[in-house]
Structure 1
């Protein structure tokens, strides 16, 4: 287990190093994370490499017993590279070139940037390949963050056309037929006529835009793999390669899980609150992000940036209350993090991150935050066996990159937000303290009891068959509105009721649809076992006619009261639920409690705002108990002060 800080010694006078390292050791750290933003220090002029500064840092760290995580510096290119080769800079949608400044300005498809990436990584890795203090190598920093996943430069355009030639076997007629380009006279004679989906009148073909989303994801994945392969070639297969993923995993134009397949350990930069936020995101949303990171490789992960102070670039956000940031670190460990670094040791006094406050502020004094970190590290060291234990889940949320992309392309409702539909399903299980895996649609999910499948609008035959078999064999699946509407190419399917190729599984079909807007709600009325219960729906509504399914709730209005909003169908040994609208929390709690009970899933009762995560070490039970509130709470007669967290043995 690695516990430590993100340290940027190059930001400070050299005479501060000894005291800084002593303080870092006093915290209880055993590792520092360095180097990812220091390309210019390593190569001040093209081809002139000098790693002596970091030789000294690592040597001094070793004297203190500290290990090192070293980052490849490609997220922040040197100014001389941008000046000499402006083609490496990405472009915005209007073809305005990104100027040097900020970070992550490069294009993922720049051949020139690949060349310079290879040079710096080869020199860096060869220089440090025998350095035993380096326990892991981080590639780049937060791929795709802050809009850097998208570029509209000419190199991307040519690479996109090359990608299309490969996908469609150089057959332009096949592409035209698949995309339906006869519509609006968009038929292409040659691949070099195909545009990238920059701003135009009305909108681009949805199939083109879907292929663009796949291409964007592949661009990031290829660049990540390029760095991993370089490092493995030099350092050996036993070397540990990580990447620190940002948040926004449901909104980015690349599939985090695909990049995760190429690295050894998933790392996550966990920011429950950021600049301009008046309060943190809800605890269940934080937890979902942690479960997503654990699910990317189905193994424990690292936090490479945990916050302790207020954060922001230009606008400062909410200040974590005493013990609240420590509580978020406990929550991370509860959900599968087994190594954690705080961002950052000392807040910057110059540059763009002056308001990203660290463990120590610019006054350079040890105060509350320092001792909170020290206390947390001490707690974790005493519970390392618990922290490294496996998390076993009987419930999984299944997400799908193409479905996320399809809603980016055609939102359908101004209220549609893919991640909120994930949270709508995730929250009731979280609040019952049920362990949940958040995993991509292409992996095996046969071992679970319940699958939660939010708005999987794009259907794929292989995924549908896996889900069908899962239900046949006794599993329970929960679909929500707009399921299986689009094919792989983002087209509707002629002659198919929605959800396409699923009507037997859900025991019905969608008769009518409606997009709901701000302030618009539909009323729902319970039938059969839910008779007398009322609720509401938002965002969208699929209005269902049942064939073999039982109706649980119907729409309560004068025109559509004969159509179902929520159905349950027996299929094989299992069951398929279809929730046709964005139902309110009370109704969702009621439905999910039914599923938890009938699937015999272990849940743990706790006070509102108290999260409990069970872990097993051999035959012994332990509980992470986390108070997310500013009130005094308790669990099993254990008192929890505001934002206090504990690991207790049953």
Structure 2
């Protein structure tokens, strides 16, 4: 197990490295992550490569028994490159070129940036291909983060034109599929198609979806070029990864398009950031980790784990004592196998002076140091448990075509895809069910329940796979606006909504209403009144059974929630933004119906099960700042405990001394 820190020795007087590495060893670290922002240090002028500083750092790392993850430094290019080739900079939708001074200001479609970035990566990796201390290469840094996934420069326009030419047989086919006859937008050639910069009213939604697909391809092509180069040049003992930032569904790229080519996926785990007065919810944090694990359906690394308060200009919430430690246990519970904390020491100069680390600018070993030391000492005792596969019985599906369609036409000013996914995810998380968050094209036949949030863009192939899943005994849960549009982002002609899902769901949607801020509608479910916000479909069951109906006088003939028996399984339709209490009741009934492996606990107490061939384990995390009870025992605020499952309904706590004795015996 690799446990360590993100270290930037170039930020400090070189005489500090021995003190730093010795204190890291004292803390229990065995890995450092270095190099990802040091291009200028390696190439001070064009073609003049110098790696002597990192030769020195790696020599010190070997002396202290530290393994190394080395980042290729292409997220921050040197000033000389920007001056020599000003065309490499991103251009925003207003035609404003980004200035040098931040990071990731480069355009993924710039041929010059592609050339120079691959050159420095090739020189670096080849130089250290035999270095035994380097066990992994990190490609770039947080690709596409902070708006760097979008550019409207001339190279992007040429690339978009080529993308469209390769996607359509002719300009006539594009005109037909996009419906450019509307507003007289018909094109005579592909090079007449504009970039979707600001215009009066809005752009064609089919253009916007193809533009989003092109943006994703642009980033993926850049990532693949770097991943393939590093794989070709690295040593046989070295692996390749890249660190993914959060905010997945707010990006203009699909992580699946390049993550599946990595040796393993890595993630930067920040439960709170600058400007946030409190952390994200435990359910949101779990969903994020389930998404990362779902990219390859494998365990993963975290290479930036928050310890101190964070922010660039504004500082966010201060993690309470042991709270960041609890987030670390939680990450391991959801599939992390190796962890590096951001960062060893907070920087006292530059843009990230408000990003605090294990050590602060005072360079003293304070609470955070001892908290990490305690965690490193403890987590290693459970390595065998944490290397077991994560068992999920529920899959939550997403499709970026659908997400990008929602982003181009939100249909409701309050709509947010992530919030709607969380609306359906959270009730299962509350029951401590095992959940995978995966792209729609992965196999979902082995799950008991498949959840498909707000899938307004869908094709017949996915609809048929969902039908097959239900026929064989699976349970499908879909929410409002399902099946409204086809894969060109157009409404379906001559079909009742939900289009290709009509047979599976056994319904027709006759009308719909967007509920704006301050608006809600009431409905009756199991004899009790509930409310819905954001949206409501007026659902007419054809084969389905109504579970909830609207209670207002105009639409009380219509259903809000239905269930349809389909083959050996069932398909639920939640046709409104229904409140949490209703969903908790419904999901509890579904869990019992399909015999999900669930366990009810106090709010804020999360149980994650891991199973080996011989034993079932439970990792119990208390996300609360007060003591909570599990299994008749008290768990301290932000505490974590490990349990054996002994027999029906009986859990036995694994004591740390017990694990130490087992490790010594082995």
- Specify the TM-score bucket, using the shorter chain as the normaliser: over 0.9
In structure 2, how many angstroms separate the alpha carbons of the residues matched to 1:495 and 1:239? 56
Judge conservation of contact 2:135–2:237 (CA < 8 Å) in 1.
Answer: no
Cα separation, 1, equivalents of 2:110 and 2:315: 35
Q: Matched residues in 2 for 1:338 and 1:362: separation?
A: 30
| Partners of 1:188 and 1:238 in 2: CA distance | 53
Alpha-carbon distance in 2 for matches of 1:523, 1:310: 42
Question: Could you tell me how far 1:237 is from its partner in structure 2?
Answer: 6.8
User: What secondary structure is seen at the aligned counterpart in 2 of 1:515?
Assistant: strand
Other-structure match for 1:145 = 145
Determine the structure 2 residue equivalent to 1:291.
290
Query: What is the aligned partner in structure 2 of residue 580 from structure 1?
Result: 575
Distance 2:235 2:496 in 1: 53
User: How far apart, in 2, do the equivalents of 1:203 and 1:78 lie?
Assistant: 38
Q: Deviations over 1:315-370 (max 9, x none)?
A: 00110000000000010000000011100000000011001000000000001100
Q: Residue 29 of structure 2 corresponds to which residue in structure 1?
A: 29
Q: What's the counterpart of residue 539 of structure 2?
A: 544
- Indicate the residue corresponding to 1:190 in structure 2: 189
Q: Distance in 1 between matches of 2:386 and 2:440?
A: 27
For the pair 1:558 / 2:553, whether they are aligned, the reply is yes
SS in 2 for 1:383: helix
Cα distance in structure 2, aligned partners of 1:496 and 1:55? 66
Question: What is the CA-CA distance between 1:238 and the residue it aligns to?
Answer: 6.3
SS at match of 1:414: coil
Task: Report if aligned partners of 2:459, 2:500 keep a CA contact under 8 Å in 1.
Answer: no
**Structure 1 runs (4+) greater than 6 angstroms displaced:** none
Map Cα deviations across residues 186-211 of structure 1 (whole Å, 9 max, x no partner).
00001111001111000100000000
Q: 2:125 & 2:113 partners in 1: Cα distance?
A: 18
1:595 aligns with 2:590: yes
- The Cα offsets for residues 547-596 of structure 1, whole Å up to 9 and x where unpaired, read as 11000000111100000000000011110000001110100001100110
Give the drift of 1:619. 1.8
C-alpha distance after superposition, 1:225-276 (max 9, x if no partner): 0001101111267641111100110110000122211211111111111111
Work out the CA distance in 1 between the residues paired with 2:479 and 2:218: 31
1:248-307, Cα deviation, whole Å (9 max, x unpaired) = 101100001222112111111111111111111111000100000000110001111111
Confirm or deny: 8 A CA contact 2:134 2:238 kept in the other structure. no
1:262 aligns with 2:261: yes
Task: Specify the alignment match of 1:490 in structure 2.
Answer: 489
Shift of 1:617: 3.1
2:312 equivalent to 1:310: no
Q: Which structure 1 residue ranges, 5 or more long, are not aligned?
A: none
1:418 corresponds in structure 2 to 417
> Which secondary structure state, in structure 1, belongs to the residue aligned with residue 113 of structure 2?
helix
TM-score, structure 2 as length reference: 0.96
Q: Distance in 2 between matches of 1:600 and 1:127?
A: 55
What pairs up with 1:40-189 in 2 under 5 angstroms? 40-169=40-169, 171-189=170-188
Alpha-carbon separation, structure 2, partners of 1:118 and 1:142: 17
Query: Quick check: 1:306–1:342 contact (8 Å CA) kept in 2?
Result: yes
Contact 1:385 1:617 in 2 (8 A): no
Q: How does 1:384-533 map to 2 (within 5 A)?
A: 384-526=383-525, 530=526, 532-533=527-528
Deviations 1:112-171 (A, max 9, x none): 1110012101111110011111111001111111100100111101100010001113x1
Q: Which residue is 1:643 aligned to?
A: 638
Q: Is the 8 A contact 2:268 2:304 kept in 1?
A: yes
Distance in 2 (CA, whole Å) between partners of 1:21 and 1:617 is 36
TM-score norm. by structure 1 comes to 0.98
Q: Distance in 2 between matches of 1:536 and 1:356?
A: 42
* 5+ long unaligned stretches in structure 2: 645-651, 653-666
Cα distance in 2, alignment partners of residues 237 and 55 from structure 1: 20
CA distance in 2, matches of 1:207, 1:454: 21
Alpha-carbon distance in structure 2 between the residues aligned to 1:206 and 1:10: 47
Q: CA RMSD in A?
A: 0.9
| Aligned mates of 2:564, 2:549 — CA distance in 1 | 15
